Structure 1
Amino acid sequence: MDRDIRTTEDVLRLLDSLFAPDADRWTDDAGSWWDGFYADRSKPVPFFVDKPDENLVAYLDRGLITPGRALDLGCGPGRNALHLASLGFEVDAVDLSPAAIAWAEDRAREAGAWIRFHRGDAFALTGTALNGPYDLIYDSGCFHHLPPHRRISYLALLDQRLAPGGHFALTCFAAGGMGSELGDQEFYRQARLHGGLAYTPESLRWVFSDLEEVELRRMHDEPAQSPCFGEPFLWTALFRRNGRP
């Protein structure tokens, strides 16, 4: 007889277990799934390119965000972390996959960039690993792989790590473009995440309603020769935390 539920985290972990093996894509034990995904660096995966997101470049060019301390959630091969470091940001970058971190470290060495890379679950890394506060928390493609209940952990991370006056920027699957449009309850009935959750502008505004919206739009479709990455099946969003820096 199991009577293991005592804390909110116990409940979250129980709900995590409902999504096995889908949970292997985003929990702290996800290294094997994502390592296989990143094993062949020559695969024609859109975000394998060594280019920063077009919206991130635009935020910086327009002065919406300025250099400071940055956290890149789900950094993958490090393309956005590298861009931030090249502009003077002090960057922490975290990913579940050792293969992704190794690739990002290779790119950083080639570019002569100094970035603190961390392998693990951003919700569990504490202390000196991801100690914040951060002026910018950037997420390109991590949030839409989380099951609904882990939005609680995600918002707690923002609350704990994002500095007053700091910015949170996100790219995620857009409803009608990519990702599953099932309602939250249905994911639990089916015990599958179907490759990722699609969001509407209204749902993003609701989830992040404690933050001030700066901009929310579709990502621009960037041609192959562009110096930036851009796919129109993604939303891009920039939010600001109220308070003085």
Structure 2
Amino acid sequence: MDRNIRTVDDVMKLLDGLFAPGADRWTADGASWWDGFYADRSRPVPFFVSKPDENLASLVDRGLIKPGRALDLGCGPGRNAIYLASMGFEVDAVDLSPTAISWAEDRATDAGVEVRFRCGDAFDLPTGEPDRPYDLIYDSGCFHHLPPHRRVSYRSLLDRALAPGGHLALTCFATGAMGSELNDADFYEQSRLHGGLAYTPESLRWIFSDLAEIELRRMRDEPAESPLFGEPFLWTALFRARGR
């Protein structure tokens, strides 16, 4: 007989375990799935390109975010982390997959920029020093792979790692275009995330209601010849931490 729930972390781990192995691609158990996904660098996967997100470049170009300390969540092969470093940001980047991190490190070397890459679960890593929080947390496609209960962990990460007045910028699946539109409870009944969760603008505003909304729009569709990455099945959003 097990009686091993004492903390919120214990509850989170219990809920994590309700998902079938491999279904929760965001956890350490999902690292092997992502390793296989990133193993062939020549695969025609849209976001394998060495281009930054168009919304990220737009935020920098318009001065809505300015160089400072940045954390790239679920950095994959490092395209956005490398862009931020090239624009003068001090960048930490984290991903579950050792294969993705190795590719990102190779790209950073080729680009001649310095990024501190870390392999592991962002919720278990030391993210930010108490006296040096992040001015920007960037998330290109990590949030929509989280099971519903891990939104609590995500918000906790923002609370401890985002500087007062700092920004959260993210892209995620848009309802009606990409991702599952099941109710939250249904994911636990089916033990699957169905490739990722779709969000409405209203749901994003509610989840991040303790932050100030700066911008929320669909990502622009960028042609193959563009120097930027853009797919219209994604929302892009920018939120600012209130003065804490």
Range into which the TM-score falls when normalised by the shorter chain: over 0.9
Residue in 1 aligned with 2:125?
125
Aligned-pair CA distance for 1:30: 2.2
Q: Whole-Å Cα distance in 2 between the matches of residues 32 and 189 of structure 1?
A: 24
Runs of 4+ in 1 over 6 A off after TM superposition: none
Which amino acid in structure 2 is aligned with residue 113 of structure 1? V
Describe how 1:24-103 pairs up with structure 2 within 5 A: 24-103=24-103
Which amino acid in structure 2 is aligned with residue 112 of structure 1? G
Which amino acid in structure 1 is aligned with residue 173 of structure 2? F
Residue in 2 aligned with 1:12?
12
RMSD: 1.0
Residue in 2 aligned with 1:219?
219
Residue in 1 aligned with 2:192?
192
TM-score, L = length of structure 1: 0.97
* Identity within the alignment, %: 77
| 2:22/2:29 contact within 8 Å kept | no
| 1:17/1:23 contact within 8 Å kept | no
135-144 or 18-27, which moves further after superposition? 18-27
Which amino acid in structure 2 is aligned with residue 189 of structure 1? E
Unaligned ranges ≥5, structure 1: none
Residue in 2 aligned with 1:112?
112
Unaligned ranges ≥5, structure 2: none
Residue in 2 aligned with 1:173?
173
| 1:22/1:193 contact within 8 Å kept | no
Aligned-pair CA distance for 1:22: 3.8
Aligned-pair CA distance for 1:40: 0.4
Aligned-partner SS, 2:107: helix
Residue in 2 aligned with 1:160?
160
Residue in 1 aligned with 2:239?
239
Q: Whole-Å Cα distance in 2 between the matches of residues 149 and 192 of structure 1?
A: 13
Aligned-pair CA distance for 1:24: 4.6
TM-score, L = length of structure 2: 0.97
Counterpart check, 1:141 vs 2:141: yes
Which amino acid in structure 1 is aligned with residue 162 of structure 2? L
Q: Whole-Å Cα distance in 2 between the matches of residues 164 and 59 of structure 1?
A: 19
| 1:75/1:94 contact within 8 Å kept | yes
Q: Whole-Å Cα distance in 2 between the matches of residues 145 and 227 of structure 1?
A: 26
- The Cα offsets for residues 44-73 of structure 1, whole Å up to 9 and x where unpaired, read as 111000000000000011010000000000
Aligned-pair CA distance for 1:23: 4.4
- The Cα offsets for residues 143-193 of structure 1, whole Å up to 9 and x where unpaired, read as 000000000000000000000010000000000010000010111111110
| 1:147/1:193 contact within 8 Å kept | yes
Which amino acid in structure 2 is aligned with residue 121 of structure 1? D
